[in-house]
Amino acid sequence: MKIVNVEPIILRKKGVIQQKADGTQDALIVKVYTDAGITGIGEVDSSPYVVKAAIEAPISHSVCYGLREILIGENPLEINKLWDKMYRFSSWYGLRGVAIHAMSGIDIALWDILGKVTNQPIYKLLGGAFRKKIRAYASTLFPDTPEEMKTITKKNIDLGYTAIKYGWNQFGKDEKRDLLLVEAARKTAGDDIDIMVDAGLGYIDTNKAIQVAKRLEDFNVYWLEEPFPSDNVEAYAKLSDSVDINIAAGERIETHYEFKKLIENAKVDIIQPDITRAGGFTECKKIAVVADLYNKLIIPHGWSTDVLLAATLHFSASLPECKFIEFCIQDSPLRKYLIQEPFKLKDGYIEVRDAPGLGIELNDKVLNEYRIG
Ligand code: MG
């Protein structure tokens, strides 16, 4: 079996893309075609246009290739070998960042092909599922007022969620306002709902972050996510050493090399690789080994379409411990309708599917409606 094409497909909502922390306004789907008629699908949650360029670029020199050219003619089942080939042959502009993002989507598509060829769901190819359903947390943006916070919290609990994460939208700018919002969520949710806070890089002042994190402990917040950029390892380490609340990070970094540094230097409690950016299944398996070495929890980041969600479910099912799956609740057609039979919350959980590969099929009507490249 040979790869005959790698196609990046840009999807974009109608109208103007808004300047807000909503990554579901566009998407990049990858299709890997084979001469056997089997097609693998994957996704990359990055800048669709930049990823498309990384896939389609023609050779510049021996270690500066676009990814498609590297893969044409290769056996799609030799996934480790192809990962290594892409990594080396894109290394002039790659090793991290967008090259790894693009490789992640292709890697997911290769595992989808492997599953379809062997008639197995990916979780079985990863070694089996420790669980067949994973508790979902509703992942949403902070509103502006405590009143809106109450409304959002009640709505998600009524929908069946037992955990909610609020993030971004000015968090970190006004400590008093931030704490009033979280207080409103906790009062509305009662004691039995898990609440998480995503600061979305909202802090510059480490001491202020420590003060707020201590107050968040009073509201029994399960984790505080990404107060600083991942490079600010000293700030993370100081924060982690100063508070009891779990500190989570990792959605913006790639490869197990970076996660090793994040754990060793930043001392975070929970690592959050995004499978569509950190290196796909192949690299996330290595990230899981790193997490195991340091006895850290992995709770993957995932905030895009159901293609990403399907991949995250297989990976999360294969982990010995995985407390939550992130479930993006944005009201976006790309988020909600891109696959046939979209994932649904059932008793607070999302089920892992048993169909071969990722276990999903794209909804071509929706794909074609939003496809722009
Ligand atoms: Mg985040």
- Can you give the CATH number for the domain in which 96 is found? 3.30.390.10
Any domain includes 156: yes
Kindly report the average pLDDT of the chain as a whole number.
Answer: 96
Q: Which domain holds residue 148?
A: 125-359
Are 107 and 146 in the same domain? no
The pLDDT-based confidence of 203 (bands split at 50, 70, 90) is confident
Are 60 and 47 in the same domain? yes
pLDDT for the residue 73: 98
- 71-110 pLDDT, tens digit per residue, is 999 999 999 999 999 999 999 999 999 999 999 999 999 9
Helices (H) and strands (E) counted in the chain, each on its own, are 14, 12
pLDDT for the residue 172: 87
Got the DSSP string for 139-180? EEE--SSHHHHHHHHHHHHHHT-SEEEEE-TTTTS-HHHHHH
Ligand 1 center to residue 248 CA distance, Å?
9
Ligand 1 center to residue 270 CA distance, Å?
12
Are 103 and 146 in the same domain? no
Are 155 and 104 in the same domain? no
Any domain includes 371: no
Ligand 1 center to residue 177 CA distance, Å?
20
pLDDT for the residue 330: 83
Any domain includes 364: no
Any domain includes 90: yes
- Give yes or no: 101 in active site: no
Are 104 and 225 in the same domain? no
Tell me the residue length of the chain.
373
- 301-311 pLDDT, tens digit per residue, is 999 999 999 99
Strand partners, 42: 30
CATH number at residue 194: 3.20.20.120
SS3 31: strand
Q: What average pLDDT score do residues 338-347 get?
A: 96
- 252-288 pLDDT, tens digit per residue, is 999 999 999 999 999 999 999 999 999 999 999 999 9
Are 222 and 315 in the same domain? yes
SS3 207: helix
pLDDT for the residue 331: 83
Least confident of 91-105, 168-182, 183-197, 298-312: 168-182
Tally of domains within the chain: 2
Are 32 and 133 in the same domain? no
Are 116 and 189 in the same domain? no
Catalytic residue among 101, 256, 301, 314: 301
Are 320 and 200 in the same domain? yes
The pLDDT-based confidence of 323 (bands split at 50, 70, 90) is very high
- Output the six-digit token pair for 228: 């600083």
CA–CA separation, 260 vs 114, rounded Å?
Answer: 28
Are 38 and 133 in the same domain? no
How far apart, in Å, are the Cα atoms of 254 and each of 78, 94, 139, 272, 350?
22, 11, 22, 11, 26
Res. 169: pLDDT tops 90: no
Are 133 and 97 in the same domain? no
Mark which of 82, 98, 120 sits at the end of a domain.
Answer: 120
Res. 14: pLDDT tops 90: no
Pairing of the two strands 349-351 and 133-141? antiparallel
Ligand 1 center to residue 326 CA distance, Å?
10
Are 212 and 314 in the same domain? yes
Q: What average pLDDT score do residues 345-373 get?
A: 96
Mark which of 100, 120, 140 sits at the end of a domain.
Answer: 120
